[in-house]
Amino acid sequence: MKRVTKKVGKYEIGRTLGEGTFAKVKFAKNTETGEGVAVKVLAKSTILKHRMVDQIKREISIMKIVRHPNIVRLHEVLSSQTKIYIILEFVTGGELFDRIVHKKKLSEMEARVYFQQLIDAVSHCHSKGVYHRDLKPENLLLDSKENLKVSDFGLSALPQEGVELLYTTCGTPNYIAPEVLRKRGYDGAAADIWSCGVILYVLLTGYLPFEESDLATLYKKVNAAEFSYPFWFPSGAKSLIDRILDPNPETRIRIDGIREHPWFQMNYVSVSRGEEGDVSLDDVRAVFDEIEDQYVTESSEEKISPLTMNAFEMITLSQGLNLSALFDRRQDHVKRQTRFVSRKPAKDIIAAITVVAELMGFKVLRRGYKTRLEGASVNRGGQFAVVLEVYEVAPSLFMVDVRKAAGDTLEYHKFYKDFCAKLDHIIWKPKEGLPTSSLYRTMTC
């Protein structure tokens, strides 16, 4: 069976983990160590066309500078004549956002641990002069041991000599600090702290303190810090959030004050500050030069059948050998990246997906066994898009990987449930009580 094979340096590239407007994130294996990594792939022509060179340079530079146990690690950066490959730590536990959706809200103890790790990571960033500017649960990942990892530094700011205030309005509206909206210059550290306060409120309640259907009303409430607590909200956390969600950045509590607060101090174990010392950015500058294609060797052939997925990829998908989450569509937890399996022929799966998607009002774009669905976002008025890809995991057993490419995550949750309900006739449901080992043997035969 023919399949696409690609190797970037010592990394063997596998399946796509995520897909956005300007980049793809793929799973890869370090062929020297066997370690799984995530590879962010950017086309040089795209970033040049959209004048994103400085932004991408900044993101890569920042991730090299901020090395900390609670920040997604950048291993290295590789380049070819046409593409840039950012090799990142592969974080398997999903988004903190999904944990909140699954549990509705977190316990006070669990929320405090994640908040402590978030503050440690943000403090380390600030000590390096780095301000994230887009802190939210979707940009907070969990590793296999459920430790928090801050990710997505695409909107981050680096210090400039002689410049104390930032002026770019950026971030996600529900998490953005009021001074950022006023467009008169703001302190990046204070703005990040505000976002941390909103995150803590969400962890403990399961919903946002500031949420309105129109931006004008939302901004008005953010500017006035107009929100309320449910009656059962922990009093200690309330006293801390009151000081964080202070609309005046001059009187807003700082990192040191947060760490000294009694609620934060409970069971707090400080992690190391991360790696110190000077970091060379010479290689970052080098990847944007016109260089010969010395790192990448790849061979690709036309796909005439679905890609196969080997056992190693399946194990990494399933967070070890517990494969119930992969095969059990009935679980309540629907991640932004989801999947189901079918015993129908691959062509029948694609045909069914096309019919259902068109009935739901989506534009269907197909290329082999990869399908993109595009439509209007209900919540935000922008684009909503989903990418589906069919993999053969065993003879006559196919996995359909479904991931959000554009739009709101909550909207995607609803889409996925509705979509699967309409595809119920092709989705395979393993019998109750089927042992994990049996599934593993099925996949690797």
Identify which of 442, 314, 304, 349 has the alpha carbon closest to the alpha carbon of residue 1: 304
Secondary-structure class of domain 96-265 per CATH: mainly alpha
Higher pLDDT among residues 148 and 22, named by residue = 148
Higher pLDDT among residues 62 and 427, named by residue = 427
CATH of domain 308-444: 3.30.310.80
pLDDT band at 445 (very low <50, low <70, confident <90, very high): very low
pLDDT band at 130 (very low <50, low <70, confident <90, very high): confident
Strand, helix or coil for residue 393: strand
Q: Is the pLDDT of residue 439 over 60?
A: no
CA distance 114 to 110: 6
Identify which of 125, 129, 108, 116 has the alpha carbon closest to the alpha carbon of residue 271: 116
CATH 1.20.58.340 fits 5-90, yes or no: no
The annotation status of 7 as a binding-site residue, yes or no, is: no
Burial (0-12, 13-18, 19+ Cβ within 10 Å), 227: middle
Q: Is the pLDDT of residue 260 over 80?
A: yes
Every domain range in the chain assigned CATH 1.10.510.10: 96-265
Reported as a single tens digit per residue, the pLDDT across 202-221 is 999 999 999 887 788 888 99
Every domain range in the chain assigned CATH 3.30.310.80: 308-444
Active site residue 143: no
Every domain range in the chain assigned CATH 3.30.200.20: 5-90
The pLDDT score that the predictor gives to residue 231 is 95
Mean pLDDT of 344-368: 87
Contact 390, 349 (CB under 8 A): yes
pLDDT band at 326 (very low <50, low <70, confident <90, very high): very low
Catalytic residue selected from 98, 134, 246, 401: 134
**Lookup result for tokens 């979707």:** 138
Of 29-33, 186-190, 303-307, 431-435, the poorest mean pLDDT is in 431-435
Reported as a single tens digit per residue, the pLDDT across 310-324 is 554 554 454 433 333
CA distance 374 to 380: 15
Burial (0-12, 13-18, 19+ Cβ within 10 Å), 162: exposed
